[in-house]
Amino acid sequence: MDAPSVKNPGRFITLEGGEGAGKSTQIQVVKDFLLTRGNDVVVTREPGGTSEGQEIRNLLVSGDKDKWSPLSETLLILADRAAHLERVIRPALAEGKYVVCDRFFDSTRAYQGVAGGLGLDVIHNLQQPVLGTTLPDVTLLLDIDPEKGLRRAQERGGELRFESKTLAYHRTLRNAFLDFAAQEPDRIFVIDADRDVEVVSADILAVLDERLDV
């Protein structure tokens, strides 16, 4: 089996998708699976993977849906990401750990770049200095019909700024993620999230089993 990346001594796994796709539940399943196999695991998220980043998250996820433009959103997210990479992700990878991150750069490409209309070139140019060579080895895209996902998210309540953007925004978002997966089939794996939790988990673990030397 080919190693998915030679860039990092550790392994970097990201979970992506629209709202209400069940990422939080599945990330625990991924963590338990990796721990069972005897790996060191760091579970984290964006925005908000550091204490400073948590403050940025609060700014982003609450309030009126139009409070920030997509460009302002991007700059806030990249401030969060820079700190997260410097303080959490790169140190953990350098120690050979598995880093499992709830959202990463594909979210910026999909939410701000495509659904927000900034364009992928602008996102690339802004985030390249932040990312450097630290890219995910495997990305699990939890795909769900936005109407269903938004319903789930509304029922859950809490941070609803992005959830209150239009259905058209969320449909564009879903298609953007699926396009990314089509462009990078060796990195991004589409998981149908509109099924029982156990069935979704089984699919995810099968991908990790195949793609990573866990």
Does position 137 bind ligand TMP by CB under 6 A? no
Instruction: Look up residue 139 and give its DSSP letter.
Output: E
Is 21 part of any known ligand binding site? Answer: yes
51-70 binders of ligand TMP (CB under 6 A): 60-61
Q: Which stretch binds ligand TMP (CB under 6 A): 105-113, 132-140, 142-150, 202-210?
A: 105-113
- Give the rounded distance of the alpha carbon of 158 from its chain centre: 19
Nearer to ligand TMP, 77 or 212 (CB): 77
Residues 6+ apart with CB under 8 A from 89: 12, 42, 44, 49, 99, 101, 134
- The whole-angstrom separation of Cα 68 and Cα 60 is 8
102 counts as binding ligand TMP under rule CB under 6 A: yes
User: Is there a contact between 62 and 74 (Cβ–Cβ < 8 Å)?
Assistant: no
Among 77, 89, 123, 150, binds ligand TMP (CB under 6 A): 77
By the rule CB under 6 A, 180 interacts with ligand TMP: no
Q: Does 103 sit near ligand TMP (CB under 6 A)? A: yes
Task: Give the residue, chosen from 33, 98, 111, 169, that forms a contact with ligand TMP under the rule CB under 6 A.
Answer: 111
d(CA 167, CA 145): 11
CB of 107 to ligand TMP, least distance (A): 4
Q: Is 127 in the site for ligand TMP (CB under 6 A)?
A: no
As a whole number of angstroms, the distance between CA 195 and CA 21 comes to: 10
CA distances from 197 to 49, 137, 138, 174 (A): 25, 24, 20, 20
In the list 10, 22, 47, 136, the residue contacting ligand TMP (rule: CB under 6 A) is 47
Query: Shortest approach of ligand TMP to residue 182 CB, angstroms?
Result: 20
79 appears as a binding residue in the annotation: no
